[in-house]
Amino acid sequence: MRWEKDPILHVEHLKMRFGGLVAVNDLSFKVGRGDITALIGPNGAGKTTVFNCITGFYKPSEGMLTLRHKAGDRAGSDDGSFLLERLPGHRISQDARVARTFQNIRLFSGMTVLENLLVAQHNTLMQASGFTIAGLFGLPSFRAAEREAVDKARHWLEKINLIERADDPAGDLPYGDQRRLEIARAMCTDPVLLCLDEPAAGLNPRESQELNNLLLSVRNDHNTAVLLIEHDMSVVMQISDHVIVLDYGTKIADGTPEEIRNDQRVIAAYLGVDDDEVEEVEAEVRA
Amino acid sequence: MEVFAQQLINGLTLGSIYGLIAIGYTMVFGIIGMVNFAHGDVFMVSAFIAMIFFLLLTTWLGIASIALALLLVLVLAMLMTALWGWTLERLAYRPLRGSFRLAPMISAIGVAIFLANFVQVSQGARNKAVPPIVTDVIVLFERNGYAVALSYKQIIIMSVTAVLLTAFWFVVTRTSLGRAQRACEQDRKMAALLGIDVDRTISLTFVLGAALAAVAGTMFFLYYGVVGFTDGFIPGVKAFTAAVLGGIGSLPGAVLGGLIIGLVETFWSAYFSIEYKDVAAFSILAIVLIFMPSGILGRPEVEKV
Amino acid sequence: MTSIPTFPARPAGTNQPAPPPLLLHALRESALAALVMLGLSIPILLFRTDQSAGQQLMLTPRIGLVATMCAIIFAVRFVVCLYVARRQSQRAARQAAGVSAPQSKLAHYVVSVGVPLFLGIAVTYPLISSMLAGGLNGARYWIDLGILILTYVMLGWGLNIVVGLAGLLDLGYVAFYAVGAYTYALLSTTYGLSFWICLPLAGVLAAFWGILLGFPVLRLRGDYLAIVTLAFGEIIRLVLINWVELTNGGAGISSIPRATFFGVPFERGENGFAAMFGLQFSAMHRIVFLYYLILVLALITNAVTMRLRRLPVGRAWEALREDEIACRSLGINTRNTKLTAFSIGAGFGGLAGAFFAVRQGFVSPESFNFLESAIILSVVVLGGMGSQFGVAIAAVVMVGGPEMLRHLAFTKAIFGPEFDPNEYRLLIFGLAMVVMMVWRPRGLISHRNPSIALKERKAISGSLVKEGHG
């Protein structure tokens, strides 16, 4: 259980209230360093709310979210740990290095694919441009940094097969490409944890397979932990190392895909209680 | 105490005029999410219309009963201003619906400039004054030589406002038009799919807003007896402040906001400085928007991620 | 939402009643329009109110005027009807032929030819106008007009950073213009500082005010931001009117020192500009100098903006306009990014303000009213948000266009000697704003040029570019 030994993210007693509605209630879990962790659960279980708390879009009502960088990493605080619930939104990406994608894709649709990837490297480039002043006079150090940024963008574009479309507006890409581009854009911020909100939604089987390979490469080649919300069981079961199941804002199961697959309670709660349906879905899950 | 009571009466009168204009802002914002910059100038046009009709009825047609004349003026001004509201929506806003967000705003600013200058060109730049129309006053009480008075004008203004607001409230809460309006507010596309004529509903919203502005315009004319082509902008901004203060999109909020703005303005002028009374209104606007953007009765907006 | 289906939905192309013949349709529409015009004319056009000698308001009926207006509206509507029908049939024919409109190519062509042309005209303008007017003195009016237009070009470019790039709707931009103008007016009249010291100071001070005003309001979105900035603009104007001790109130500040040629005054006499360069003294030297001064200021604004667009901060502005939430998720400090746009835009407004003060020699609060903000904003939006060239064209059209009314002397022949077309300047201006928006809601040049390219730069269609929410 890597997530118990070396968690990158530790969520403790997370609670999120909207007026009278408790969307997430006393939720605790750990995300392992170098794992692909899937957060699953029926619609309205509070998955996206958890994401929004982790990435700073909501301030949790209660609870603690600790992110730990590896010792010796470019760490921000003394022991390399960040309390995400206390960081201002943009610091979560800039310092704690948590990146995310959105359920309804949020690309800069009027900007080109390349520009999208450069905006993601804003903070690095901003420093290189001497907070604009050096950049205004076109100092060589800034030019070098920009070249590096373009190279990094090119690397990702080759990886997601979009190099040919680098100069096209992001809004013109087909849906599947937009999803991959959004992941590449998040990766350009050099995250230690990548949070993906339903990355496979709306993809066809071939694209879904490509996505699996991309995510595996993110984990293996870039040492980035992945936390994803997903409904597509083929993605969840094939690539995740760890699955957490939510229902009504609380955790009902937590373990390896094997364990989750065989957890009757999960199947019942997650998929409804009708016996016939359970069998049907069990078959699908096993397949 | 006496001054306070007098200012309270004056403030409520002014406030009911602002409230009537504010409803036009709040309704249009609610249904198409646009600040109708020209609404203040529609109000100004309606004051001119009321003035001309009043002169027409009293001097040309020789109607001797002021009450009858005022009633006719009110009805005619509402009708004519409603036509203005309809035409403006049709020509300047409808073609831009669903387009670029800034376009309707620029168009509305254009309409505002057009209306003010149309009135200037067609009626002349000088303020138009008529002799006081209703001059009777009821002295409520008198102390230390200071009489607290409630004029007939103020009674007319407040009661007409109350009656028409009640009628208006009935329209938007109890009729199918009101239902259609609320449906369009929630989701215009879905409303269209359910067979609501969205264009017609929006048109009627503008028509209603303009008619209420005409009530305000008539009352303004009655109260001050002077109208000028620049009288649209400042009352417009104040009424918009009222709409925001009450919570934009909320009809009771608009009236409440109007009354508050009216009171603040009169008390500010009486106790602090009359020069800075417009600064006070603008400051309230800025402060409310910054610290309380959903106003008193509005619903807070939740950011969707 | 133009594409909202009305219920019950009619399958396209079937069961539709045959459309009435075009002419009949056009006639009916025109009659309707004329009828509405008649309604609108009652009573505001039909009767003119005039103060009589006894201070009594008198009504004068103007039946002829109303009839003329109705006829004009009838004719206009008729022509529009026919034009729209013709364009629709053309479009249908083009679609049937499978040809798409070559619009973006054309726009690209216009820009690539138009920019050098425009720049060339701008640089040689005083020469051209004095040749056409037969002498420098005769060209005074035209060069003044050029200065006016260039001032708006600069203001438009400054505001374009805020509205066009960062997508922040600012309706109080004129406040920063006022800050710049009063900075120079006050510093020069009370401390005798020279224009060349005050100019950068005005820019810095206006930028500082931009930060000060922007700080509390920049988290507001869309129309709310517009209204708050409008309120700030008006507050500043009202304070300028009422703070008499400092600003001399509504009377304004006069006898502001004139611009010098970097210290050399434009005067008759030994130390003057003319004597120094061995020229015949002419009052026009100063005017021409002012022309080139504003041209240089405007071009600096443009150069800085173009440069910033290619820097991370500029890209962040545009990203902010596209999607603020995504920006936050990428670690961009949205508040600071907005503040930089707001204050840089304000700074350029301040520079333009200082120029305004030195050119007029007089400032008063009335020069900085809401109408001014509206004109600048309409120049930006009409130009096509984010397009520098479009803004320049829009400034020429919106500021230069109404000026042309002064030269329509022939209208006096038609409408009588009392007719002054200049009175209609703002009326037509307002009307033009509406018509332009209906005609081109995204402005004259709506496509966006990418800030960087891997292989080739392709223009991005305006329909993909967002307009910002804050």
Chain B residues whose CB is inside 8 A of the A102 CB are: 305
**Ramachandran region of residue B208, left (φ > 0), alpha (ψ -120 to 50) or beta?**
alpha
Determine if the pTM surpasses 0.90: no
Domains of chain A by residue range: 2-97+191-286, 108-189
Residue linked to tokens 């009043």:
B54
Spatial neighbors of C73 by CB under 8 A, at least 6 apart, are C30, C33, C34, C36, C37
Chain A residues whose CB is inside 8 A of the B301 CB are: none
The DSSP symbol for C21 reads P
Contact between A57 and B302 using a beta-carbon 8 Å cutoff: no
Please tell me which of C102-111, C248-257, C363-372 the model is most confident about, judged by mean pLDDT. C363-372
Contact between C430 and B113 using a beta-carbon 8 Å cutoff: yes
Percent of chain A with pLDDT over 70: 88
Nearest CB among A57, A108, A126 relative to C312 is that of A126
Mutate to test the interface with A, among B294, B299, B304, B305 (most CBs of A within 10 A): B305
Rounded CA separation C177/C236 (Å) = 11
pLDDT at C11 exceeding the cut of 50: no
Whether B280 and B296 have beta carbons less than 8 Å apart is answered as no
Mean pLDDT check: name the lowest of B173-182, C23-32, C87-96, C349-358: C87-96
First-last CA distance in chain C = 21
- The per-residue pLDDT for range C34-59, each reduced to its tens digit, is 889 988 888 888 888 887 766 677 88
Nearest-CA distance B299 → chain A (Å): 13
Domain A2-97+191-286 class? alpha beta
Which C positions 136-155 lie with beta carbon below 8 A of chain B? Answer: none
Q: Which residues of C289-328 are buried (b: 16+ CB within 10 A; e: fewer)?
A: bbbebbbebbbebbebbeebbebbbbbbbbbbbbbbbbbb
Q: Which of C150, C205, C210 is nearest to C183 (CA)?
A: C205
pLDDT at position C4 is 44
Residue scoring higher pLDDT (B146 or B224): B224
pLDDT grade for C469, boundaries at 50, 70 and 90: low
- The per-residue pLDDT for range B163-183, each reduced to its tens digit, is 988 888 888 888 888 888 888
Which B positions 274-303 lie with beta carbon below 8 A of chain A? Answer: 302-303
Residue scoring higher pLDDT (C139 or A35): A35
- The per-residue pLDDT for range C381-425, each reduced to its tens digit, is 888 876 888 899 989 988 888 777 777 666 666 666 666 777 788
What mean pLDDT is predicted for residues C111-132?
A: 81
Pairing of strands C47-51, B146-151: unpaired
Nearest-CA distance A102 → chain B (Å): 8
Name the strands in the sheet holding A225-229, side by side, starting at the edge strand that comes first in the sequence. A98-100, A193-197, A225-229, A36-40, A242-247, A250-255
Nearest-CA distance A221 → chain B (Å): 30
pLDDT at position C448 is 80
Residue linked to tokens 């018509």:
C435
Nearest CB among C4, C42, C232 relative to B198 is that of C4
**Torsion B228-B233-B234-B236 (CA) sign:** positive
Whether B201 and B177 have beta carbons less than 8 Å apart is answered as yes
Tokens linked to B187: 């989701």
> At A39, is the secondary structure helix, strand, or coil?
strand
- Which residue type sits at C359? R
pLDDT grade for C17, boundaries at 50, 70 and 90: low
Rounded CA separation C365/C244 (Å) = 11
- The per-residue pLDDT for range B189-205, each reduced to its tens digit, is 888 888 888 889 899 99
pLDDT at position C464 is 76
Residue linked to tokens 């699908």:
A284
Reported ipTM: the value is 0.86
Contact between A55 and C329 using a beta-carbon 8 Å cutoff: yes
- Which residue type sits at A255? G
Residue scoring higher pLDDT (B231 or A87): B231
Domains of chain B by residue range: 15-232
Interchain CB contact of C385 with B (< 8 Å):
yes
What mean pLDDT is predicted for residues C344-356?
A: 94
pLDDT at position C268 is 75
Mean pLDDT check: name the lowest of A251-260, C156-165, C181-190: A251-260
Mean pLDDT check: name the lowest of A85-89, A156-160, A282-286, B45-49: A282-286
Q: Which of B245, B247, B248 is nearest to B264 (CA)?
A: B245
Nearest CB among B91, B123, B283 relative to C235 is that of B283
Tokens linked to C419: 């007719």
Whether C291 and C146 have beta carbons less than 8 Å apart is answered as yes
Mutate to test the interface with A, among C311, C340, C387 (most CBs of A within 10 A): C311
Whether A3 and A229 have beta carbons less than 8 Å apart is answered as no
First-last CA distance in chain B = 53
In the beta sheet, which residues pair with residue A242? A37
pLDDT at position C10 is 43
pLDDT at B273 exceeding the cut of 60: yes
Is the link from the previous residue into A199 a cis peptide, with omega within 30 of 0? Answer: no
Q: Which chains touch B (3 or more CB pairs under 8 A)?
A: A, C
Residue A76 has phi, psi (to 5 degrees) of: -85, -65
Residue linked to tokens 């080759």:
A158
**Torsion C236-C238-C242-C247 (CA) sign:** positive
Smallest CA–CA distance from A105 into chain B, residue: B305
What mean pLDDT is predicted for residues B215-223?
A: 92
Contact between C242 and B286 using a beta-carbon 8 Å cutoff: no
pLDDT grade for C352, boundaries at 50, 70 and 90: very high
Which C positions 313-352 lie with beta carbon below 8 A of chain B? Answer: 325
pLDDT grade for C13, boundaries at 50, 70 and 90: very low
Spatial neighbors of A149 by CB under 8 A, at least 6 apart, are A118, A121, A124, A125
- The per-residue pLDDT for range B69-107, each reduced to its tens digit, is 889 999 999 999 999 999 999 999 998 887 777 788 889
pLDDT at position C350 is 94
Distances (CA, A) of A250 to A15, A26, A195, A269, C460: 9, 7, 19, 12, 46
pLDDT at position C415 is 66
Chain B residues whose CB is inside 8 A of the C431 CB are: 110, 114
Q: Which of A193, A223, A191 is nearest to A65 (CA)?
A: A193
Smallest CA–CA distance from B86 into chain C, residue: C36
Please tell me which of B123-127, C218-222, C314-318 the model is most confident about, judged by mean pLDDT. C314-318
Rounded CA separation B158/B175 (Å) = 25
What mean pLDDT is predicted for residues B182-188?
A: 84
Spatial neighbors of B44 by CB under 8 A, at least 6 apart, are B115, B116, B119, B217, B227, B229, B230, B231, B232, B235
Nearest-CA distance A199 → chain C (Å): 16
Size of interface B-C (CB pairs under 8 A): 204
Chain A residues whose CB is inside 8 A of the C322 CB are: 108-111
Tokens linked to A263: 């957890």
Whether B203 and B196 have beta carbons less than 8 Å apart is answered as no
